[in-house]
């Protein structure tokens, strides 16, 4: 029930996690769990990313071929499988069916995030690259389900800093630019007839506007301008193509699903709001022309239903597939054949085909059948108070067999997420399960600035990198110590991207709290970080200055919270991992930190992968990273005599 969009993310990749050891008493309990091979947690899924063709005759999926995720298809009711792609250098990043005969997919080169769009016919033949331009990033804006031979894409081909919309003809591969981005447009929206009529813009670096035109021949006019702290984010046109449905926090703390009146330039009704959480996601039925549901995240994903038929479908699926969270991952054009995905905190789940006409569910496959969910750990929701009285929500994963009441004096991995304007959520995470299997507890926290908790909670993180945001991480660590769960001498901190930055600042700011740290592509110097951001982040630079800090006006503060200038305070050993082609956090961020550490004779290990970007995607590199992490922790924690 939701139109497919492969959106281009301009945020950091969310962090990971790691760490520690245990005392003699708890060691006896922990070793009772069967030690599962590291590779079982981090190898590619057996089959995943199932989709169904618009006519419902085929389903497709991704599976490993020479250690890279490729696309396969299978006709319903038949056993034979056809492999459509044979990519061997890099995983396919995503794909979808634009029509019944073709599949489009995206792939970058070595992690540079300059995605190219490829087309492959299901009856065979070599894939064809449709956006084969050096240094250009492509993405899908709209799949145009009513126009089978066209899709709308975005490219920064004309100007690396901005994305222009193009109509891509799938018959001949021709491209037609639909509008020239003047430099401030961050999003384009098409109506249900495939006409470009709405755009969202950053007008002066900090203010955002909604632009509208009645037809594609009319000039654009601004109908709404707000500071970026308040905004209306359009999701789709109403079915008469006259107004918009989207998410708004204008005049309220929590984002709500609203109808926006284009002629008046304001919202005219609230469709659904939640008093505790932002509601940003809304779905609809393309065939029946009804809004179906809205979703938000408390400690789990939750749904509000506008449509009784959709509610009944989910109720049937949840009653049939008890014990698992259920997601409708795709449907055919008639919306009577659905791809259903299950998952939990202890399982990557399985895929099913749901036939609505016959009311039957058929299991297709388990995603990772080699992992037994009975051997996995629970990801428990927790909350604690920050030193200034905020309620911080998070998750605690304990080794199998422990509860919050029985867990005492355990080794702990403190794992701040990336973003930082993102959040941790409940679900299967191989890192959590790997560390829990090795006897570690893992603490995740949605520190101030984490999304989903409203505008105020987000805004109070501005210019608080390394300050109150870091204190929230520290307060969570001390909360675990005070509860007796954490062994105060056996705590490590680990994260990726902003989580890597928080790892470095944790070692700087609390040198006696953490026994080791693992930084995965983290920022170390906020001055150089601002200078090396991707070109398409440049229009948002003034916004970043307001949220993080201005290198000129706030130079004293930024130096205080840049870890590379304070390595003299670090006592704990450090392991750093970095992709050489990272476009978000330049490799120089890690190089600087390693150089500064070694100059002072401090213990630092450094892993660089030449064919990776912001996070390791290739299976063999993931194995190397986690082997290195495990050895590092064993060397500095498990074998350390406290």
Whether 209 is catalytic: no
Give the CA angle between residues 123, 127, 130 to the nearest 5°.
125
Gap between the Cα atoms of 292 and 445, Å rounded: 32
Helix axes of 468-482 and 498-509: crossing angle, nearest 10 degrees: 70
Token code pair at residue 152: 């709308």
Gap between the Cα atoms of 185 and 236, Å rounded: 17
Whether 319 is catalytic: no
Torsional sign, CA 69, 73, 76, 77: negative
Token code pair at residue 564: 């590379």
Q: Which of 497, 524, 562, 590 is catalytic?
A: 497
Of 291, 289, 256, 254, which is closest to residue 270 (Cα–Cα)? 256
Q: Which of 344, 582, 590, 636 is catalytic?
A: 582
Length of the chain: 642
Structural contact between residues 105 and 71, judged by C-beta atoms closer than 8 angstroms: yes
* In the block, residue with structure tokens 């995607």: 617
Which DSSP category does 426 fall into?
S
* In the block, residue with structure tokens 């995206």: 106
Structural contact between residues 157 and 133, judged by C-beta atoms closer than 8 angstroms: yes
Q: Which of 417, 566, 614, 636 is catalytic?
A: 614
Gap between the Cα atoms of 523 and 499, Å rounded: 9
Token code pair at residue 222: 């601004």
Of 424, 380, 348, which is closest to residue 42 (Cα–Cα)? 348
Gap between the Cα atoms of 153 and 169, Å rounded: 10
Gap between the Cα atoms of 251 and 564, Å rounded: 40
Gap between the Cα atoms of 187 and 148, Å rounded: 23
Of 329, 326, 323, which is closest to residue 48 (Cα–Cα)? 329
| Beta-sheet strand order (sheet of 138-142) | 138-142, 150-155, 164-169, 175-177
Half-sphere exposure in the Cβ direction for 65 (13 Å, CA) = 17
Whether 614 is catalytic: yes
Cα→Cα distances 66→112, 206, 287, 319, Å: 21, 46, 39, 39
Gap between the Cα atoms of 333 and 636, Å rounded: 56
Dihedral angle of Cα 37, 38, 41, 46, to the nearest 10 degrees:
-70
Cα→Cα distances 366→49, 82, 316, 370, Å: 12, 20, 20, 9
φ, ψ dihedrals at 544, nearest 5°: -65, -40
Gap between the Cα atoms of 552 and 141, Å rounded: 36
Cα→Cα distances 35→38, 409, 499, 549, Å: 9, 21, 27, 45
**CB contact burial 230-257 (16+ within 10 A = b; e otherwise):** ebbbbbbbbbeeebbbbbbbbeeebbbb
Strand partners of residue 139: 154
Strand ranges for 415-485 from DSSP E: 441-446
Q: Which residues are catalytic?
A: 497, 582, 614
């Amino acid at each position: 029930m939701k139109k497919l969009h492969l959106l281009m993310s301009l945020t950091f990749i969310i962090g990971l996690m790691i760490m520690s050891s245990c005392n003699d008493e708890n060691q006896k309990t922990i070793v009772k769990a069967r030690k599962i091979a590291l590779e079982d947690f981090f190898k590619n899924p057996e089959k995943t990313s199932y989709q169904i063709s618009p006519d419902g005759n085929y389903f497709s999926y991704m599976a490993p071929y020479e250690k890279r995720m490729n696309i396969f298809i299978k006709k319903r009711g038949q056993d034979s499988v056809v492999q459509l792609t044979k990519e061997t250098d890099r995983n396919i990043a995503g794909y979808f069916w634009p029509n019944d005969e073709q599949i489009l997919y995206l792939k970058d080169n070595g992690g540079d995030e300059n995605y190219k769009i490829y087309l492959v016919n299901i009856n065979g033949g070599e894939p064809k690259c449709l956006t084969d331009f050096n240094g250009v990033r492509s993405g899908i804006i709209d799949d145009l389900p009513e126009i089978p031979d066209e899709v709308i894409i975005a490219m920064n081909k004309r100007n690396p800093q901005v994305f222009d919309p193009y109509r891509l003809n799938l018959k001949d591969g021709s491209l037609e630019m639909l509008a020239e981005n003047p430099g401030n447009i961050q999003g384009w929206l098409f109506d249900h007839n495939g006409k470009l009529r709405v755009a969202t813009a950053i007008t002066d670096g900090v203010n955002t506007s909604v632009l509208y035109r009645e037809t594609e021949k009319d000039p654009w006019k601004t109908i709404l301008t707000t500071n970026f702290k308040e905004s209306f984010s359009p999701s789709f046109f109403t079915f008469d193509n006259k107004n918009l449905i989207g998410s708004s926090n204008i005049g309220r703390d929590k984002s709500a699903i609203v109808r926006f009146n284009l002629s008046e330039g304001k919202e005219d009704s609230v469709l659904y709001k939640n008093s505790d959480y932002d509601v940003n996601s809304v779905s609809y039925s393309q065939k029946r022309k009804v809004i179906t549901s809205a979703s938000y995240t408390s400690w789990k994903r939750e749904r509000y239903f506008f449509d009784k038929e959709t509610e009944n479908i989910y109720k049937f699926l949840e009653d049939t597939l008890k014990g698992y969270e259920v997601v409708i991952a795709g449907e055919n054009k008639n919306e009577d054949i659905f791809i259903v995905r299950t998952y939990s905190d202890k399982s990557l789940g399985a895929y099913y085909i749901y036939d609505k006409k016959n009311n039957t569910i058929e299991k297709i496959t388990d995603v990772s059948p080699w992992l037994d969910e009975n051997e996995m750990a629970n990801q428990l929701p927790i909350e604690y108070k920050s030193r200034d009285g905020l309620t911080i929500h998070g998750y605690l994963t304990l080794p199998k067999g422990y509860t919050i009441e029985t867990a005492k004096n355990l080794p702990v991995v403190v794992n701040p997420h990336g973003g930082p304007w993102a959040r941790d959520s409940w679900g299967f995470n191989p890192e959590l399960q790997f560390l829990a299997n090795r006897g570690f507890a893992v603490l995740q926290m949605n520190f101030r600035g984490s999304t989903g908790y409203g505008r105020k909670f987000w805004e109070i993180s501005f210019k608080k990198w390394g300050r109150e945001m870091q204190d929230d991480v520290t307060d969570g660590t001390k909360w675990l110590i005070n509860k007796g769960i954490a062994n105060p001498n056996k705590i490590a901190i680990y994260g990726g991207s902003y989580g890597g930055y928080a790892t470095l600042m944790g070692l700087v700011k609390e040198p006696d709290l953490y026994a080791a740290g693992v930084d995965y592509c983290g920022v170390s110097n906020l001055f150089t970080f601002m200078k090396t951001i991707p070109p398409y982040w440049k229009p948002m630079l003034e916004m970043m200055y307001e949220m993080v800090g201005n290198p000129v006006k706030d130079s004293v503060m930024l130096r205080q919270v840049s870890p590379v200038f304070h390595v003299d305070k670090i006592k704990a050993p450090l392991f750093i991992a970095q992709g050489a082609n990272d476009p978000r956090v330049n490799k120089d961020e890690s190089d600087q930190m390693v150089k500064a550490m070694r100059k002072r004779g401090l213990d630092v290990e450094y892993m660089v992968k030449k064919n990776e970007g912001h996070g390791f995607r290739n299976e063999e590199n993931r194995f190397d990273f986690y082997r290195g992490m495990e050895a590092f922790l064993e060397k500095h924690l498990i074998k350390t005599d406290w």
